[in-house]
Amino acid sequence: MSDFPHEEFADALAANDEYIKSFKYSELTGVAQRGLAIVTCMDSRINPLSVAGMKSGDAKILRNAGARVTEDVLRTLVLATYLLGVKRILIMPHTNCRMAMGEEADIHALIQKEHGVDTRSLEFRTVTDQREALITDVNRVRSYPLLNAGVVVGGAIYDVTNGKITPVDC
Ligand SMILES: [Zn+2]
């Protein structure tokens, strides 16, 4: 065990001291008030709640590199749809995503070159055709046998240059 690295998190902890002074969500439960789950990328340009007009308590946000539907996303969505009020799921990758800009092998080669680490035991799930991958992922959720019946699943692409969400027929 080691001491918490206070120095590295000083800004976040200081901001939290301010945040709690006007904290207004103490009455919320873990149920998504507006029945929405958004699966999106970890990209720091995306504020998933804001882009869809949501606030704390309204929606479940699931994030990973590339907004891909992984086993863990499915696991989380199953729980969210049975226990936490989720009735609609939006899969939302974005423009200019590093995970949609090249082959899996290129990312492994880049990390190998710059950091000397062989990451090929991981599958990064990069895509070469973002739209096709989105259609596959949306249908992966739709056809997942354990998902709560009646849940609606849609796909859309978020534009990081202007904030627009463009729905995609899947
Ligand atoms: Zn991304």
Residue 1 in any domain: the answer is no
pLDDT tens digit at each of 170 positions of the chain: 999 999 999 999 999 999 999 999 999 999 999 999 999 999 999 999 999 999 999 999 999 999 999 999 999 999 999 999 999 999 999 999 999 988 999 999 999 999 999 999 999 999 999 999 999 999 999 999 999 999 999 999 999 999 999 999 99
* Residue ranges with CB less than 5 Å from ion ligand 1: 41, 43, 97
Specify the pTM. 0.95
- Please tell me the distance between residue 23's alpha carbon and the centre of ligand 1 in angstroms: 30
- Please tell me the distance between residue 131's alpha carbon and the centre of ligand 1 in angstroms: 14
45 closest CA partner among 100, 94, 102: 94
Residue 20 in any domain: the answer is no
Residue 2 to residues 5, 6, 25: CA-CA distances in angstroms?
Answer: 8, 11, 32
Total structural domains within the chain: 1
- Please tell me the distance between residue 65's alpha carbon and the centre of ligand 1 in angstroms: 6
List of residues 6+ apart from 89 with CB closer than 8 A? 36, 37, 38, 39, 77, 81, 141, 151, 152, 153, 154
- Please tell me the distance between residue 43's alpha carbon and the centre of ligand 1 in angstroms: 5
| Domain hosting residue 90, numbered range | 31-168
End-to-end CA distance of the chain: 48
- The CATH number linked to 68 is 3.40.1050.10
